[in-house]
Amino acid sequence: MDLSSINPVVLAAALMVAATPILLAAIGELVAEKAGVLNLGVEGMMITGAVTGFAVAVMTRNPYLGMLAALCGGAAVSLIFALLTQVLMANQVASGLALTLFGLGFSALLGQGFVGIPPPRTPKMDLGFLSDLPVLGPILFRHDPMVYVSIALVAAVWYWLNHTRGGRILRAVGENHEAAHALGYRVRRVRILAIAFGGACAGLGGAYLSLIRVPQWTEGMTAGAGWIALALVVFASWRPWRALLGAYLFGGIIVLQLNLQAAGVRIPVEYLAMSPYLVTILVLVVMSSGRARKTLAAPGSLGRPFHATG
């Protein structure tokens, strides 16, 4: 065992990369849940994004086109969920599960010809003197653009939810859909758009995994990242900045356990590899118990179907 081989600067830099896919998926799901929709299909949307993004990036040799395709792919499958739950009034839990099961199979089917192919490289940003700063440079300013896009997205979602009319309508729909409906807001339309946004974000998160973080396509490569993103929304108490904090925390755990594996700590690899899931469960327990629960503030209509009568 050689713990001194773990370089804290490299670790901190890798943390942001590891956190970005779950952050992207979580911020999308956060918006959907704020609109009162519980979409358990995040894993399915992520993996669909991962494969569409990868396929398009390989075919066009352009990672950004791939990410655009992932955005569309994630949104497209999320619309199946929207159709089921918003138009056909199906159970949200079951529909979300269906989306995950379908997405895992569908992606495996699409990705058949792409196993073992390297994707086109996504260049790192060069932020001039910022990138050359000692310590801070490699940690903060030498990443691919998507890391910064994800942070900007968190800021944008925060601003939009709290400081714009559209955001207030979305929150009203999520808190009390009957009241929102009585006020004349289109509950169903708002929710469908929120679901599509969630799907697009999850798709992008998936593409980040297959194009940048891993970078490779393998079946089932999301390996629960979508579920961790769902837990992250609870951890964040439905607040965007807390989602960022949570994602970096998880990113830290993922990177740390990978580094411990590499350093040859005398714990079997499998036990280290289960730590992100165990930590997620632990966090869920802490967040949903006792006093913490009062400050959780889950949207009032979360998971409840809405059917306008009259």
- List residues near another protein by CB under 8 A: 40, 80, 83-84, 88-91, 93-95, 97-98, 101-106, 108-109, 112, 219, 223-224, 227-228, 230-231, 234, 268, 270-271, 273-274, 277-278, 280-281, 284-285, 288-290, 293, 307, 309
Closest to another protein by CB, 11 or 219: 219
**Which is nearer to another protein, 111 or 205 (by Cβ)?**
111
Burial 13-30 (b: 16+ CB within 10 A, else e): bbbbbbbbbbbbbbbbbb
Supply the minimum distance, in Å, between the C-beta of residue 284 and another protein: 5
Q: Alpha helices of 176-306 — where are they, by DSSP H? A: 177-182, 187-208, 225-235, 240-263, 269-273, 275-288, 290-294
Shortest reach from residue 149's CB to another protein, in Å? 27
Tokens representing residue 239 in the block = 């607040």
In the complex with another protein, the residue whose CB is nearer, 159 or 271, is: 271
Closer to another protein at the Cβ: 155 or 274? Answer: 274
Nearer to another protein, 234 or 244 (CB): 234
Q: From the CB of 299, what's the least distance to another protein, in Å?
A: 14
Q: Which is nearer to another protein, 68 or 209 (CB)?
A: 209
Return the number of other C-beta atoms located less than 10 Å from residue 62's C-beta.
14
Least distance to another protein from the beta carbon of 306, Å? 12
Structure tokens at 186: 């289109």
Question: Which of 89, 130 has the CB closer to another protein?
Answer: 89
Output the smallest distance, CB 290 to another protein, in A.
8
Minimum distance from residue 167 beta carbon to another protein (Å): 25
Q: Can you read off the two tokens belonging to residue 234?
A: 């609870």
